[in-house]
Amino acid sequence: MSHSETHILKFGGSSLKNASLINQSANIVAGHMQKAHPIVVVSAIGGVTDTLIELTNLDQKTEHKSCRIINDLELRHRRIFDEVASVSHPNRGDLQDLFGRLRTTFDDKSLKSEHYQAWKDQILSIGERASALIFSAALSEQQIESTAHESSHFVKTDSTFGKARVQRDATRKLIRKFINQSQAVPVITGFIGSNEKQQITTLGRSGSDYSAGLIADALDADHLEIWTDVDGVLTADPRWVPDAESIEQLSFGDISELSAHGARVIHPKTIQPIQNKKTTVLVKNSYNPEHPGTLITSDFDTNGSLKTIAITGPFVRLQIDQKYAYDLFEKLNKWSADNPNTKPIEFRQQSEFEAVRFSLKQSFFEDIKEQLSAWAAKQNTLFNLDDNLYKVKKFSNQFNKGEQLSGRVISLLAKNNIQPLHTERNYDERFISFLLPEDEARRAAHLINNAISKTKPVIDLFIAGTGAVGKTLLNQLNKLKTTDIEFRLIGTCNSRNTLWNTDGINLDTTLNWDEAEQTNWDTLLDKLTKNQHRDLIFVDATGSEEVARLYPKLFANTIHVVTPSKLANTFEQSFFDKLQSLIQKHHSSFNYETTVGAGLPVISTIEELQSTGNKITEISGVVSGTMTYLFNQLEQDVPFSKAIADARKKGYAEPDPRDDLSGEDVARKFLTLARTLGIKIEREELQVESLIPKELKDVDGKTFLGKLSDYDSEWKQRIRSAQERNETLRYTGKLKDGNITIGIESVPQDSPLGQLKGTDNLIQIYSEFYNQTPLVIQGPGAGKEVTAAGVLSDILKTVEQLT
């Protein structure tokens, strides 16, 4: 078989957790047989090393549990064995002997007291030795000839039990000698070695990957395949960031750099032995074998595109008065000296007058807790403590000067109101890390992952109100094609029912209201504020006062609002001010372009003029499409009452046309414009001329409509006399010098206002720079299509502000 390739196939504990996973793994080995000579390296069966460690931690009080633990362990192995191999297989006896040895070693009190670590390593080695026996027997079952090997025969190490250092040259020679490629498929224990006295040592947790690397090197393997329980190397730990994506390809350099930054997929030392080789490394998922996984090769050039997040912790943070800091720092270093993995992480001093802070691994802190309090008592001092902190580190191998990667991440967190306890960054911006409480760390990791992710970031949407605008918006959203973001509708509601689905409601089919719950704003608000993994935009298309009054709570939770409802901006001035300050404080955003002139860019224009320092001196014109329609009809001799009835039929006017005729709608629009300009003004301060005859103010809707024709001749008269002067009537508003006046105006027929048709609005803006001729915005100012399109463009604008 000398012509074929050498493949090292390493199976982690999660890939061997039960009989069916072991059989699947054996099939994978079989699959490699055609073109390669496979060599198998195994970890202990999933969870076994943890159980063995538990065993070694028993003390006098708990020792009686050992029998049960060992029996359970043996039973678990034996059951798996019997499922994957035949009872007559000789390894079955070896497995039994192995557990006999475990019992003897466990009871070896003299070894335990003389050299606890050596004793412990012997016990830990049982896991890999047992799984090698089982796996090898499982291969025989598939007619693959195989032998189990204990790597303690050829992996030579020093005597640092628990984390032994490998003697590379001796090991390489012995592997070559023992693993003769012309033989049956070897199944080798990972994780274990032996020192010069032939005592068993272990290479540290997850060390089987490293064993596989050593074997790959010694045998000049062409290919090393590492089977685990995730889709290869991911952009982040999926337990923290469910949206983490797998990285297609990496270089050896990348993977060691990632390991150094705390990313955990394969053991940091795995690649080390084969660094100068052409071996290809493939990380695969036993739980999703079809996924291509991650390919790691020596020379792959990620081309500056590698971005990942590593989360480490938990940490505790100590804060102590200046004058004790140095002493404490010395003590911490001393205590951690015999424990090289737990060095105090930082020693920082903000200024001479501030307390000093240290971050420590929480496990280390637990170990030294007593010493620490004894020390504090002696100094007669106290320290402050934050615990359960995590470090979220964004790493990128991109290095373009001036790219400001950290700046972007920092402002992303700031926008989402996440304030790290500590930020650490490298001068060349290859990484930036944030220390945060667990919950915040999770949110931060999520946000950063969204920002660096290759696929589109997801933005959550909730749409309240499924009337004309809401429904049209849902349709438009479904047709929307964005290239750089994906919207997910997590819920929608009307006054009666609520649909909620955080995985996203499918917009391709009609909404299924059968699955709806009753709308309850207390519970809904609770759900909305708890759904804070992604940016959330709340669209209020209800026109309900109750909903508008919820905005403060939404803004306080950094939920962004987009609305065509005029209500929130036109309540009392103090409410408006409250909204503004919450928006500022919580980095929320509020877009309400469609409250004036529907989709016309009125609000954005005045905001832009103002932000460029162009002082606005006057805003005037027609902001009611219904009114334009009404006067157009009057011009054409249509009676007043009929024009209003038609406007209702066409959906321009409100169901009770008095809402339009009263001028209230126009008043609210001007109030919004004024407040957007920063003018403090209450509704009562506006002068508004109503078109509702005094006598009909308080009658019911039906009577109102019935009596309207009484006024037809009066209106005919009014429009005629204007026309005789070559003028016509328009319902206009004007904001000037902080005052708002609204009412009927007679304007020249050939003026822009006089020419208005359909449901058009016309807004004139005079400013310092536009003081002779105004800036004019004209177009359809009503209608569900234009309004929904305007809402959609506000949604997109919100996203722009966020990213």
Of the two residues 208 and 492, which places its CB atom closer to ligand ASP in the complex? 208
Query: Residue ranges of the alpha helices (H) in 338-467?
Result: 362-379, 405-415, 438-452
Secondary structure of residue 357 in the 3-state scheme:
strand
No. of H helices and E strands in the chain?
27, 29
Give the shortest CB-44-to-ligand ASP separation in angstroms: 4
How far apart are CB 267 and ligand ASP at their closest, in Å? 7
Residue type, 623: V
* Choices 28-36, 143-151, 302-310, 589-597; region in contact with Mg ion by CB under 5 A: 589-597
Identity of the residue, 47 or 639, whose beta carbon is nearer to ligand ASP in the bound complex: 47
Nearest Cα neighbor of 313 from 362, 264, 267 is 362
Q: In this structure, which long-range contacts are made by residues 711-716, counting pairs with CB atoms below 8 Å and at least 24 apart in sequence? A: 711/640, 711/641, 712/639, 712/640, 712/641, 712/642, 714/640, 715/634, 715/639, 715/640, 716/634, 716/637, 716/639, 716/640
By CB under 5 A, residue 623 contacts Mg ion: no
Size of the site for ligand ASP (CB under 6 A): 12
Query: Of the two residues 13 and 597, which places its CB atom closer to Mg ion in the complex?
Result: 597
| Min dist. Cβ of residue 332 to ligand ASP (A) | 28
Partner in contact with 342, chosen from Mg ion, ligand ASP, none, beta carbon below 5 to 8 Å by kind: none
Among 7, 9, 13, 70, binds ligand ASP (CB under 6 A): 13
Q: Which of 186, 190, 457, 564 binds ligand ASP (CB under 6 A)?
A: 190
Among positions 597, 663, 754, 774, the unique one binding Mg ion when judged by CB under 5 A: 597
Q: Which partner from the list Mg ion, ligand ASP, none does 528 bind, CB cut-off 5 to 8 Å by kind?
A: none
Give the nearest residue (CB) to Mg ion. 597
Nearer to ligand ASP, 204 or 743 (CB): 204
Smallest distance from Mg ion to CB 589, Å = 17
Considering only CA atoms, which of 185, 178, 182 is closest in space to residue 193? Answer: 178
206 touches ligand ASP by CB under 6 A: yes
Judged by CB under 6 A, the residue of 38, 127, 597, 781 near ligand ASP is 127
Which tokens in the block code for residue 786? Answer: 């234009």
Q: Which two tokens stand for residue 597?
A: 């002139």
Nearer CB in complex with ligand ASP: 193/207: 207
Asked if 362 and 355 count as a contact pair (C-beta separation under 8 A), the reply is: no
Binding residues for Mg ion, rule CB under 5 A, total 5
Q: What torsion, rounded to 10 degrees, do the Cα atoms 639, 643, 646, 648 define?
A: -140
User: Looking at beta carbons only, is 206 or 406 nearer to ligand ASP?
Assistant: 206
Q: Which is nearer to ligand ASP, 44 or 368 (CB)?
A: 44
Q: How far apart are CA 421 and CA 417, in angstroms?
A: 13
State which of positions 668-727 bind Mg ion (CB under 5 A): none
Candidates 86-94, 205-213, 519-527, 707-715 — which segment interacts with ligand ASP by CB under 6 A? 205-213
State the binding partner of 14 from Mg ion, ligand ASP, none, CB within 5 to 8 A by kind: none
Q: Which does 49 bind (CB under 5 to 8 A by kind): ligand ASP, Mg ion, none?
A: ligand ASP
Task: Residue 602: name its binding partner from Mg ion, ligand ASP, none (Cβ under 5 to 8 Å by kind).
Answer: Mg ion
622 binds Mg ion (CB under 5 A): no
Q: Identify what 225 binds: Mg ion, ligand ASP, none; CB under 5 to 8 Å per kind.
A: none
User: Which residue among 243, 593, 664, 727 contacts Mg ion (CB under 5 A)?
Assistant: 593
* Stretch of residues binding ligand ASP (CB under 6 A), selected from 43-51, 72-80, 105-113, 628-636: 43-51
Query: Which residue, 296 or 537, has its beta carbon nearer to ligand ASP?
Result: 296
Phi, psi of 542 (to 5 degrees): -95, -35
680 is annotated as an active-site residue:
no
Going 595 to 597 to 598 to 600, the CA torsion angle's sign is negative
Which CB, 189 or 565, lies closer to ligand ASP? 189
Cite the beta strand spans of 541-647 per DSSP E: 560-562, 590-591, 616-622
Under rule CB under 5 A, residue 602 binds Mg ion:
yes
Structure tokens at 696: 């009909």
Determine if 794 is a binding residue for Mg ion (CB under 5 A). Answer: no
Q: Assess 191 for contact with ligand ASP (CB under 6 A).
A: yes
Question: Length of the chain in residues, anyone?
Answer: 803
Q: Which two tokens stand for residue 688?
A: 């508004």
Instruction: Kindly identify the residues of this chain, within the stretch 496-525, that bind Mg ion according to CB under 5 A.
Output: none
Which of 50, 48, 111, 107 is CA-nearest to residue 75? 48
122 interface partner picked from Mg ion, ligand ASP, none, CB below 5 to 8 A per type: none
b/e code 101-138 from CB counts within 10 Å (16+ = b): ebeebbeeeeebeeeeebbbbbbbbbbbbbbbbbbbbb
Q: In what order do the strands lie in the sheet with 422-425?
A: 348-349, 356-361, 307-320, 384-396, 431-437, 422-425
DSSP assignments along 56-101, one per residue: HT--TTTGGGHHHHHHHHHHHHHHHHHHHS-TT-THHHHHHHHHHH
Burial of 679 from C-beta contacts in 10 A (0-12 / 13-18 / 19+): middle
| Among 398, 401, 489, 389, CA closest to 452 | 398
Choose from ligand ASP, Mg ion, none: what does 597 bind? Cβ within 5-8 Å by kind.
Answer: Mg ion
Structure tokens at 791: 């809402």
Residues 365-384 that bind ligand ASP (CB under 6 A): none
The site string for ligand ASP over 208-237 (x = CB under 6 A, - otherwise) reads: x-----------------------------
Residue with Cβ nearer ligand ASP (161 or 538): 161
- Specify the stretch interacting with ligand ASP by CB under 6 A; choose among 92-100, 199-207, 407-415, 566-574: 199-207
Angle of CA points 188, 193, 195, to nearest 5° = 155
Q: Counting contacts by CB under 6 A, is residue 44 touching ligand ASP? A: yes
Contact 357, 339 (CB under 8 A): no
* Interface pick for ligand ASP out of 14, 15, 25, 43 (rule CB under 6 A): 43
**Part of the chain binding ligand ASP (CB under 6 A), chosen from 163-171, 204-212, 613-621, 677-685:** 204-212
The interface region with ligand ASP, picked from 202-210, 328-336, 418-426, 513-521 by CB under 6 A, is: 202-210
Query: C-beta of 603: minimal distance to Mg ion in Å?
Result: 6
CB 777 within 8 A of CB 762: yes
Whether the CB-CB separation of 42 and 16 falls below 8 Å is answered with: yes
The one of ligand ASP, Mg ion, none whose footprint includes residue 151, by CB under 5 to 8 A per kind, is none
What DSSP state is assigned to residue 156?
B
Q: Which stretch binds ligand ASP (CB under 6 A): 151-159, 206-214, 405-413, 655-663?
A: 206-214
600 is an interface residue for Mg ion by CB under 5 A: yes
Answer with the entry of ligand ASP, Mg ion, none that 465 interacts with (C-beta below 5 to 8 A by kind): none
Catalytic residue chosen out of the listed positions 17, 284, 471, 669: 669
Tokens 């404080």 belong to which residue?
585
Nearer to Mg ion, 47 or 601 (CB): 601
User: Would you say 70 and 102 are in contact if contact means Cβ atoms under 8 Å apart?
Assistant: yes
For residue 326 the two structure tokens come to 């140095």
Per CB under 6 A, the segment of 42-50, 464-472, 721-729, 746-754 that binds ligand ASP is 42-50
Torsion of CA 624, 626, 629, 630, to 10 degrees: -110
Binding site for ligand ASP (CB under 6 A): 12-13, 43-44, 49, 127, 190-191, 205-208
Binding site for Mg ion (CB under 5 A): 593, 596-597, 600, 602
Enzyme catalytic residues: 669
